[in-house]
């Protein structure tokens, strides 16, 4: 279980997130959707403490952390939360001087201090899962965007995190390459991987999400199942947003 309670995030006088409280069940996929600037990526980054909330609390499994204005959050406390998460970024962020398999092994060897043989076996297992075993020894510069993102997903899964966080995982890809990544994430979802995905890609959200959180201006406008949000939203603002998207695309629910 992941639980965010009364999360607020400020940058100076600007309030980016306002009193956000959501619960994410184990084994579920939650999509954060909404217009640009609504707070999706900031909320995602707050979950693994790349951004430190100003107030509120975060619980992941048995670990809970409270945030108080003016009180610095200690590094050991940050690490207890962060080590339970895996992060996938929109621009891949692979190490260019390492092969695909070395990218996946890196955290296991340098952070978790695994022997290289064990890390290599785990990395190959994950590259196989995302359909990239045949590119294990390839350099990132020789891979397509979709292939790089699949390697990035394998890297994020390497330490067996409690939750996989994906920040706009398809936004840097054209539709064909995006479909590769959607298929991988759909496979992970079918296997019970807990995921939180910030996305503009309603095709991705509607295909794999169990639950949807619609954010605008740092506020939760509406939450519900993917089917309810995409076919029968209750809030007028959500209806306008979904109708705008559906005017250009048809989604499978």
- Residue 47 sits in a domain whose CATH number is 3.40.50.300
Phi, psi of 241 (to 5 degrees): -65, -50
User: Is the model's pLDDT at 171 over the cut of 50?
Assistant: yes
Residue partners of 15: CB distance under 8 A and separation at least 6: 8, 9, 218
Helix 145-157 crosses helix 175-190 at what angle (to 10 degrees)?
Answer: 20
Name the residue range of residue 141's domain: 95-160
Instruction: Kindly state whether residues 229 and 111 are assigned to the same domain.
Output: no
3-state SS, residue 50: coil
For position 246, what pLDDT does the model report?
58
Domain boundary at 133, 160, 187, which?
Answer: 160
Query: What's the number of CA atoms in the CB half-sphere (13 Å) around residue 202?
Result: 22
DSSP state of 155: H
For position 202, what pLDDT does the model report?
81
In a domain, 252, yes or no: no
User: Is the model's pLDDT at 252 over the cut of 80?
Assistant: no
Q: Are 7 and 186 in contact (CB under 8 A)?
A: no
For position 127, what pLDDT does the model report?
97
Instruction: Kindly state whether residues 53 and 128 are assigned to the same domain.
Output: no
Dihedral sign, Cα of residue 83, residue 87, residue 93, residue 94: positive
In a domain, 251, yes or no: no
Instruction: Kindly state whether residues 80 and 32 are assigned to the same domain.
Output: yes
Helix 145-157 crosses helix 100-110 at what angle (to 10 degrees)?
Answer: 20
In a domain, 253, yes or no: no
Using CA atoms, how far apart are residues 7 and 45, in angstroms rounded to an integer?
Answer: 12
Mean of pLDDT over the chain: 92
Buried b (16+ CB within 10 A) or exposed e, 220-249: bbbbbebebbbeebeeeebeebbeebeeee
Bridge partners of 223?
A: 213
Burial class of 189 by CB neighbour count within 10 A (0 to 12, 13 to 18, 19+): buried
Instruction: Kindly state whether residues 73 and 181 are assigned to the same domain.
Output: yes
Note the residue count of the chain.
253
Instruction: Kindly state whether residues 127 and 20 are assigned to the same domain.
Output: no
Phi, psi of 33 (to 5 degrees): -125, 165
User: Is the model's pLDDT at 250 over the cut of 60?
Assistant: no
Burial class of 210 by CB neighbour count within 10 A (0 to 12, 13 to 18, 19+): middle
User: Is the model's pLDDT at 220 over the cut of 90?
Assistant: yes
Neighbour order of strands in the sheet with 2-11: 14-24, 2-11, 55-60, 63-67
- How many domains does the chain contain in total? 2
Domain boundary at 160, 187, 205, which?
Answer: 160
Average pLDDT over residues 235-239: 92
Neighbours of 43 (CB within 10 A): 25
Residue pLDDT, tens place only, 61-72: 889 999 999 899
Instruction: Kindly state whether residues 176 and 147 are assigned to the same domain.
Output: no
Q: In percent, how much of the chain has pLDDT > 90? A: 79
For position 244, what pLDDT does the model report?
73
In a domain, 6, yes or no: yes
User: Is the model's pLDDT at 248 over the cut of 50?
Assistant: no
For position 1, what pLDDT does the model report?
80
Using CA atoms, how far apart are residues 216 and 16, in angstroms rounded to an integer?
Answer: 10
Using CA atoms, how far apart are residues 239 and 216, in angstroms rounded to an integer?
Answer: 13
């Amino acid at each position: 279980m992941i639980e965010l309670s009364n999360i607020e995030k400020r940058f100076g006088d600007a309030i980016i997130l306002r009193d956000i409280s959501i619960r994410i069940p184990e084994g579920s996929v939650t999509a954060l959707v909404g217009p640009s600037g609504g707070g999706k990526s900031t909320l995602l980054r707050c979950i693994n403490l790349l951004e430190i909330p100003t107030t509120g609390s975060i619980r992941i499994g048995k670990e809970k952390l409270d945030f108080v204005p003016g009180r610095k959050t200690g590094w050991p406390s940050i690490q207890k939360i962060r080590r339970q998460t895996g992060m996938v970024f929109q621009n891949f962020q692979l190490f260019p001087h390492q092969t695909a398999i070395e990218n996946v092994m890196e955290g296991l060897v340098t952070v978790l201090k695994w022997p290289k043989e064990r890390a290599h076996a785990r990395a190959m297992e994950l590259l196989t899962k995302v359909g990239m075993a045949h590119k294990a020894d390839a350099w990132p510069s020789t891979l397509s965007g979709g292939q790089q993102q699949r390697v990035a997903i394998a890297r994020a899964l390497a330490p067996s995190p409690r939750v996989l966080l994906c920040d706009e995982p398809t936004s840097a890809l054209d539709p064909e390459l995006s479909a590769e990544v959607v298929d991988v994430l759909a496979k992970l979802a079918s296997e019970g991987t807990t995921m939180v995905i910030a996305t503009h890609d309603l095709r991705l959200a509607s295909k794999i999400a169990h639950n949807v959180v619609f954010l605008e201006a740092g506020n939760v406008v509406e939450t519900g199942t993917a089917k309810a949000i995409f076919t029968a939203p209750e809030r007028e603002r959500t209806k306008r947003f979904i109708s705008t998207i559906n005017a250009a695309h048809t989604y499978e629910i």
